[in-house]
Amino acid sequence: MESGKIDYSFLPKEKFRGDDYLCQWNGFWFRQPFLEAAHQVLNHYKPLPTDTVLASYPKTGTTWLKALLYSIINRSSRDSILTNHPHMLVPTLEIQLYGPKTGSFDSFAGTANSSARILATHLPYQVISGTINSTDCRVVYITRNPKDTLVSSWHFYPKSKEVKDPWSLEDAVEKFCNGVGNCGPYYDHVLGYWKESLERPHKVFFITYEELKSDTKTHVKRLAEFLGCPFDGDGKEEDVLDEIVSSCSFEKMSNYEANKSDDGHMGWLKFPLSSFFRQGGTGDHKNYLTPEMINRVDKITAEKFHGSGFMYGI
């Protein structure tokens, strides 16, 4: 994108929910305010070599990993996690910092000399690659089982303060399978970062929600090594590691007062802060999707992921 106002009239559009619609740009679908924000990110965000960028498709574990990354880099930070929502500790570029009417650009520019900025983005690699590859900043990418991602999205979007219309599961499945979702197609989003992690593992750390859930402590240590702040193995550091894993667990975080608010929201995205904590497990799709829905998603997963050599998601 170049500087200047975006002309949306020429972009393909698809109805998403209620009166909300998505615009297709560069092969991906975006809500209009999200696309406006992406325009600002690509034109104004200048990553520092010391930046850590958490990238993800929506509803794949972003909130949890924000808390973990913040705690790893700042070592413990239990008080911050207790009193601040993870989205306040690790702002999302296109929502809080460069989003429409956020007013955060100037204050963010003032942190240019910070040695440990942690930022997040939902932008696909195919869109933001030029920006994040302009320096030696590190990228951490998380993904989640496609069926669980679908169900999590279906639960999440109706909590919007702007679009109150109900969303049928059948329509959510149809949209997901057709690749129509904010920052979708999901499969293209995941594969963009996965392929980059294979080519440049020193640059992109790729992890699945299921891996992180099954052995959080091991993967927190791996993340710390990737970020250049490893735990040295002595007793004190081991205690800090255990505290991070415990303080950032879903069970603990979902009960912190800062995460239970139904009033607050992040930037222009009008969702209550409590809506980012629902179930926190794996395999939840089995409680909602019919066998036919599961088979349909699995067929696409086999074609998109397995066909690319990424043996995941079924």
List active site positions.
122
Q: Which token pair is 256?
A: 């912190």
Dihedral over Cα of 268, 260, 184, 128: its sign: positive
Name the DSSP class of 305: T
Q: How far is CA 43 from the centre of its chain?
A: 21
- For residue 289, what are the CA distances in angstroms to 37, 154, 284, 297? 33, 11, 9, 10
Listed residue (120, 112, 80, 130) closest to 96, CA to CA: 120
HSE-CB at 279 with a 13 A cutoff on CA atoms is 16
- Residue 184's contacts (CB-CB under 8 Å, 6 or more residues apart) are 28, 29, 57, 176
Tokens of 188: 């293209």
